[in-house]
Amino acid sequence: MDAFSDKDPEASGKDPVLPFEESVGYQIRQTSRLFQRSLQQKIEPHGVTLGMWYFLRALWHEDGMTQRELSLVVGTMEPTTLTAIKSMEKTGLVRRVKNEDDRRKINIYLTERGKALRSELMPLAKDVVDGSVHGFSDRERSALLEYLKAIQVNLLAGISDHKDASA
């Protein structure tokens, strides 16, 4: 008996069926979209778009990264990163500085305004995360995180020429 359908697909000659409610990938995607929408509603009144959020978050963790490093951490292509950085520079959140050791590189630094947003926005993000697991015990929350990490490891193992997701 196949886990994806009521009938054995080989016996019926049909491809396996994967209903949305049973698809881990679909459920994770829907969950991710809801996280993003919820976070977006909370941060936009502060003049920060969802796209900016990811770069701010990375810079709050490590200020002064190069554009290339930011692209790797956030998971965007370099032209997308450059567009976001220019927008953030115009709104006074970051400044670009030529690297002293390698003039071809540009480091991105938070402005005082960009740094100050951390204390305003991180509690909002924490509210979204905490609300998403409302009613979960600490044990259930830890288990969920372990399961998600295991899924990431499984998926990375199946991707050829993969890079470390924590880079």
**This prediction's pTM:** 0.78
Q: What is the pLDDT of residues 17-72, one digit of tens each?
A: 888 888 999 999 999 999 999 999 999 999 999 999 999 999 999 999 999 999 99
The answer to whether the CB of 113 falls within 8 A of the CB of 89 is no
The answer to whether the CB of 105 falls within 8 A of the CB of 99 is yes
Domain with CATH 1.10.10.10 in the chain: 47-127
Sign of the torsion angle spanned by Cα atoms 118, 92, 113, 68 = positive
Q: How many CB atoms lie within 10 A of CB 55?
A: 26
Q: Class for domain 47-127, per CATH?
A: mainly alpha
